[in-house]
Structure 1
Amino acid sequence: MNDTINVVPRAIEALVATPNDDALARRFADFDTFCDALDYAAQGQRGFNFHDPRGTLKQVYPFRQLRADSLKVAHALIARGVKPNDRVALIAETGADFAALFCGVVYAGAWPVPLPLPTSFGGKDNYIEQLAVQLSSSDPMLLVGPDEIAEMTVQAAARQGCGHATWADFAAKDAPEVALPKAGPDDICYLQYSSGSTRFPHGVAVTHRSLMSNLAAHSHGMQLIDSDRCISWLPWYHDMGLVGCFLSLIANQVSGDYLKTEDFARRPLAWLDMITRNEGTSISYSPTFGYDICARRISSQSPVSDRFDLSRWRLAGNGADMIRPDVMQSFVNAFADAGFKATAFLPSYGLAEATLAVTIMPPGEGIRVELVEEERLSGSPRDLSRPARYRAIVNCGKPVRDMEVVIRGENGASLSDHKIGKVWCRGTSVMHSYFRDPEATEACLVDGWLDTGDMGYMADGYLFIVGRAKDMIIINGKNHWPQDIEWAVEQLPGFNHGDIAAFSVETDNGEEAPAVLVHCRVSDPVKRLELRDLIRDKVRSITGMNCVVELVPPKSLPRTSSGKLSRAKAKKLYLSGEIEPFKLAA
């Protein structure tokens, strides 16, 4: 996309990235508002650095330049009639344009609403529909997006009846300067939609106080040091990318290097190249699938030590999805010769409703797992006629500063260690509300406690996440986690993480049965039949019952905007006929 916000052209070889350290005294998000945080960060030398698809530095954007551009954007927005508490929807493309617009909206007293870019799945019409639904929920005065997708954003804005602009419309920023409103700690800073917010979106309203509390808490949990630098490809419309790898860098004065998410998808090893080139210590987060892609991609490369030096990767964060210990081990096996240490892994747990971080593993402890019987996970009675089966559950760390976590049973009572129940949390960084949705707010916020919707247990002060309560498959009164079924199918040769979606469907006789959609890369009809039967036998060995197995074309299973498999959408598209399985002979 075009970098239109006050970028001074210069030769690539002349670019010098912002430093890891400078003379400005470090403050760890101890500000009243985000505006105060950017005002302070702009006094130093640190900032953002944007890279091309090969990981080559193409734009240096110090925080002082970000602040200057943001103030001009704020005046331009006010000149357009934007008032305090208005919403301004922004297509969150990684780059200087979005950064200045997001911060400019906050300076203007309005609420930025980051929304996703188009994905390869679903096409133009589905993207316009997704935007229209989120615009209807957030009711913005204005939608601003990249010039290149204006055809789609114009249509979405027209359906909502809000204004429309592109990055280029703010390039000059020549509006007259006016007095800017002064935000207070309890004012709303922004609205955040979770990656799964599509059909019935909930806009999480985050105050300045909640944001600063969480940014201070997770920087404290990560034990930031002066040499740390953030390297990221995470999208800025997802809470881990927006809060953890954009807003946190400003509030904690950390320089960052960015690769666009779509560029990572095409060249994932460019991420590791950027970490290699960092002369300081690196902090970099990814969901499980990012580590999986790199480990698989490197298998055909020359010795990793010839290309990568990952010895200074201090914190390799993992979150935003269920953490797979087998994938993490594969990554260690693939990159140990490049200096990567397993102790660098930093499992964590969080959600947009808590701003971001709820728990973080203490640095240096790495991935720790417990083997738990599947019957215990599902709450089903033990079947003594079958051998016990176990699933490895990853330790997601300890509650961050100013956050409490408890596990509650069905009656709402707190449970003791190793008892599985619903995860609840309470703290300053828990959301203000769901925007204009008091019923949904009341359903998950009770006496200051947030019902996360996730299942887990505590052990010696550490949180273990088992799964998402709404994903549970209940057949004949017995509970099954879809992750267990998907994992079992992935053990068959030829399948990757994310190739399988498991959920329940109603069969012709009115009973519920597990259904499994599987990406099929086999073209021979006979081989497809054999594959279906193999999968069916594998699932039967786990669930003890027959299941519906459908082989579907590669890349047909939908993902959320952050790249996670969407089981709910897969089920919906399958039942509506939009995902069309391969026809198999009887």
Structure 2
Amino acid sequence: MTELYITKTSTRNPLPQRLADFTTLAEALDYAAQGVTGYNFHDGRGRLTAPLRYAELRQRALAAAYRLCRLGLKRGDKVAIIADTSPLFMEIFYGCQYAGFVPVPLPINMSLGNHASYVERLARLLRSCEARVAVAPAEMQSFLAEAGSELDLLFSGGDEAFLRLDANVHALEPSRPDELAYLQYTSGSTGFPRGVMIDQATVMANLRGIVTHGLGVRPGDRCVSWLPFYHDMGLVGFVLGPMASQLSVDYLGAREFAMRPMQWLTLLSRNRGTIAFAPPFGYDICARRLRSGDLERLDLSSWRVAGIGAEPVRTDVLERFAECFAPAGFDSRAFLPCYGLAECSLAVSFAPLRQGIAIERIDRAHLEHHAHARLASACGDMAVTSFVNCGHALPGHEIVIRDQQGNPLPERAVGRVTVRGPSVMSGYFQNPEKTHRVLRNGWLDTGDLGYLTPDGLFITGRHRDLIFVNGRNIWPEDLEHLAGHYHGVRHGDVVAFTAAADDEEAVVMLVQCRLSDAQRRHELINELTSRIRSDFGVACRVVLLPPRSLPRTSSGKLSRSEASKRYLQGGRESLGLASPAESPVGTGAAS
């Protein structure tokens, strides 16, 4: 019996490299298919399960395009794909590019016990995007069947059923530069997700800026990613970007990363990866899961771009990661902060390469009272807050900070971050009201707050998350950061927000706590409320919750807006918790 061996796609490519200088994604894949690079899928133990060279992907994508055409789809029809980390997603996504259809990546179910809520969310997304076809991996087929049961779909089914469809050759007309490339749903951190319309010319402009200006992609680069394909950083950054610059990629599923985060670093080490990104929590979980003996098996010296995005950058997390993995060859200068959002395809700005993390220490009291980022004195005991430099806008793009009336603000004034350039979306699908609210005269209001200096853009938070108390603007991140330093509380397990206007305690902090001793929990509540009153001058109601109680977006970020909504609507019960039978006496409540 002959044993079958499979090998990963090559890092080196005899094909001359082109850096996303194409007019459409289909044109980019046509070129990449002439080389030897491609996508590589690995299981939770890091074993290669499916190498997929771009040449083979192109053939499979054409077959998928033929199948979709045979279903009777019209040009511009939407094809929903539950975006598991699998070759089938690639086949259907690129098949849509060749046939003039619009792929819509939808989130996978990341947690157990939320069957009903996931099905409801999936059904709303299917209706929102007006899907005509919906495809799911085999293990999620039942969710899709339930979610699409009342919709008029030409096809709804699993991967096997889709592959059995007629794939006879059919005349194809790929999507043109002015047609939609895909519909990208936002992660939902500020309400129900909206369908961002990105056309071919728009995404190609962003990809050119990313691979040339942002990453400085060069021959011999290799990407490694666990980021989900339904998230803009996963899709644009690590599906489309590598293909458009003919790089090979190694994939680990997002669920597999959550269970075994060290496999991400193992893949980087084994395959000599050079480019990999993660939100801060990704670096945090790797540092926390590090075990004795792990470093001996890792060589991270090839990792030249360690990107950070998708949520506010926490320097303490990155410093701890760099310290933990320096013995394995990790160079902290590889850290690359960046800023972006789905409404600008993906990227808006990048810090300079090989600079690492550059921060500014800001006088917190001055910031809260005057919305101005004055540098803190080198001496003295003033309260400070730190922000990370996210660099300058991509070529051809502009960033302007504006006040509430839309007027441009000077350097260091904190205001709304607005962006203009060729990467900006055309609007939200079937939602002209929300489109008009954020997009005017080509300028996109990102909803984020920040300030500019000659060195670049500094993001301070979300406008809607800002806590306004007694004439001061308090950043929730400052309160959450403080809580993360206490025993029993992890960074990233805290949300703070403003309570109802008539509540004498104007600020609420929800804390996922791992302490089981009732006395210690009571002490933690009192310590936090006292420290917040002392440092920030505000009363705060601290509520301790069990781990995994706080709502998250589809990309894994804690959702302040959803947590606040649930809390204000019904307190503990709306967060899915029992009555507070164990609450200690005193300020706050504990589970």
Tell me the TM-score normalised to structure 2 length.
0.93
Quick check: 1:456–1:465 contact (8 Å CA) kept in 2?
yes
Aligned to 1:3: none
Q: 1:176 maps to which residue?
A: 168
The 5 Å alignment of 1:187-202 reads 187-196=179-188, 199-202=191-194
Q: What is the one-letter code of the residue matched to 2:496? A: A
Helix, strand or coil at the partner of 2:557 = coil
Q: What does 1:337-352 align with in structure 2 at a 5 Å threshold? A: 337-352=327-342
Please state whether the residue corresponding to 2:556 is helix, strand or coil.
coil
Task: Note if contact 1:49-1:256 (Cα within 8 Å) is conserved in structure 2.
Answer: yes
| Aligned mates of 1:533, 1:226 — CA distance in 2 | 56
1:179 positional shift: 0.6
Matched with 1:262 is 255
- Structure 2 CA distance, aligned partners of 1:173 and 1:346? 44
Question: 2:158 & 2:164 partners in 1: Cα distance?
Answer: 12
Letter of the structure 1 residue corresponding to residue 530 of structure 2? D
Residues 335-382 of structure 1, C-alpha deviation per residue, up to 9 Å, x if partnerless? Answer: 111111111001100000000010011211111000012234434589
Could you tell me which residue of structure 2 aligns to residue 4 of structure 1?
none
2:298 to 308, 325, 329: 308
Query: Given the alignment, which residue of 410, 427, 431 partners 1:416?
Result: 410
What residue is the counterpart of 2:76 in the other structure?
85
Within 5 Å, which residues of 2 pair with 1:23-102?
Answer: 23-102=14-93
**Structure 1 residue aligned with 2:421:** 427
Counterpart position of 2:375: none
How far apart, in 1, do the equivalents of 2:370 and 2:80 lie?
A: 45
Letter in 2 for 1:63: Y
- Deviation of the 1:51 alpha carbon: 0.8
- Check the 8 A contact 2:189/2:559 in 1, yes or no: no
**Match runs of 1:187-586 below 5 Å:** 187-196=179-188, 199-221=191-213, 222-279=215-272, 282-298=274-290, 300-302=291-293, 304=295, 306-380=296-370, 388-506=382-500, 509-511=502-504, 513-575=506-568, 576=570, 577-579=573-575, 580=577, 582=580, 583-586=582-585
Once residues 119 and 198 of structure 1 are traced to their aligned partners in structure 2, the CA distance between those partners, rounded to angstroms, is 19
Report the secondary structure of 2:142's partner residue: helix
- Is contact 2:191–2:562 with CA below 8 Å preserved after alignment? no
Larger mean CA deviation between 225-234 and 458-467 belongs to: 458-467
Does the CA contact (< 8 Å) of 1:485 and 1:542 recur in 2? no
Deviations 1:114-159 (A, max 9, x none): 0100121660001011112212211111211111122211111124
Using structure 1 for the length normalisation, give the TM-score. 0.94
1:356 and 1:459 mapped to 2: Cα distance? 22
Q: Deviations for 1:509-530, whole angstroms, at most 9, x for unmatched residues?
A: 5456110111122222222222
Shift of residue 505 of structure 1?
A: 1.2
For residue 491 of structure 2, give the secondary structure of its aligned residue in structure 1: coil
Question: Is 211-220 or 517-526 further displaced after alignment?
Answer: 517-526
Question: Do 2:509 and 2:543's aligned partners in 1 also have CA atoms closer than 8 Å?
Answer: yes
Question: Do the aligned residues in 2 keep the contact of 1:375 with 1:381 (CA within 8 Å)?
Answer: no
Q: State the distance in 1 between where 2:503 and 2:532 align.
A: 21
- Which deviates more from structure 2 when the two are superposed, residues 283-292 or residues 519-528? 519-528
- Contact 1:83–1:108 (CA under 8 A) maintained in structure 2: no
**Equivalent residue letter for 1:578:** S
1:200 Cα deviation after fit: 2.9
Distance, in Å, in 2 between the alignment partners of 1:284 and 1:358 is 18
Contact 1:84 1:110 in 2 (8 A): yes
Q: Give the C-alpha shift of residue 174 in structure 1.
A: 3.5
How far does the alpha carbon of each residue in 1:244-292 deviate from its partner, in whole angstroms, 9 at most, with x for none?
Answer: 000111111110000000000011011111111124x510000000001
Write the distance in 1 (CA, Å) between the matches of 2:276 and 2:327: 19
Structure 1 residue 543 displacement after superposition? 2.6
Cα distance in 2 between the residues matched to 1:122 and 1:443: 36
Give the secondary structure class of the aligned counterpart of 1:545: coil
**Map 1:68-147 → 2, pairs under 5 A:** 68-120=59-111, 123-147=114-138
Instruction: Work out whether residues 239 and 351 of structure 1, in 8 Å CA contact, stay in contact via their aligned partners in 2.
Output: yes
Partner of 1:6: none
Aligned to 1:5: none
Amino acid at match of 1:147: A
Aligned length: 569
| SS of 2:490 mapped into structure 1 | coil
Measure the CA separation in 2 of the matches of 1:186 and 1:518: 47
Residues of 2 paired with 1:117 and 1:365: CA distance? Answer: 36
Asked if 1 retains the 8 angstrom alpha-carbon contact of 2:257 and 2:264, the reply is: yes
SS in 1 for 2:274: strand
Q: Distance in 2 between matches of 1:273 and 1:247?
A: 23
Q: 1:158 to 1:420 in 2, by over 3 A?
A: same
- Which 5+ residue runs of structure 1 have no aligned equivalent? 1-9
What CA distance in whole angstroms lies between the structure 2 residues aligned with 1:57 and 1:260? 12
CA drift of 1:475 comes to: 2.0
Report the alpha carbon displacement of residue 173 of structure 1 after superposing the two structures with TM: 4.9
Out of 15, 37, 40, which is 2:6 matched to? 15
Q: Distance in 1 between matches of 2:515 and 2:14?
A: 59
The CA distance in 1 between the partners of 2:11 and 2:421, in whole Å, is 31
CA deviation after TM superposition for structure 1 residue 104, in Å: 1.0
Please say which of residues 191-200 and 208-217 is displaced more in the overlay. 191-200
Contact 1:475 1:512 (C-alpha < 8 Å) held by counterparts:
no
| One-letter identity of the residue aligned with 2:39 | F
The Cα of 1:538 is off from its aligned counterpart by 2.2
Shift in alpha-carbon separation, 1:122–1:191, aligned structure 2, 3 A: farther
SS for the counterpart of 1:84 is coil
Contact 1:133/1:199 (8 A) holds in 2: no
- The letter for the 2-side match of 1:188 is L
Q: Match for 2:126: what amino acid?
A: L
Letter of the aligned partner of 2:561 in structure 1? A
User: What is the CA distance between 1:438 and its match in structure 2?
Assistant: 0.9
2:131 counterpart SS class:
coil
Unpaired runs of 5+ in structure 2? 373-379, 586-591
CA distance in structure 1 between the partners assigned to 2:426 and 2:369 by the alignment: 33
CA distance in 1, matches of 2:300, 2:476: 34
Query: What percent identity do the matched residue pairs reach?
Result: 43
Q: Supply the RMSD in Å over aligned alpha carbons.
A: 1.9
Letter in 2 for 1:52: D
- Mark the CA change 1:201 to 1:184 in structure 2 (over 3 Å): closer, same or farther: same
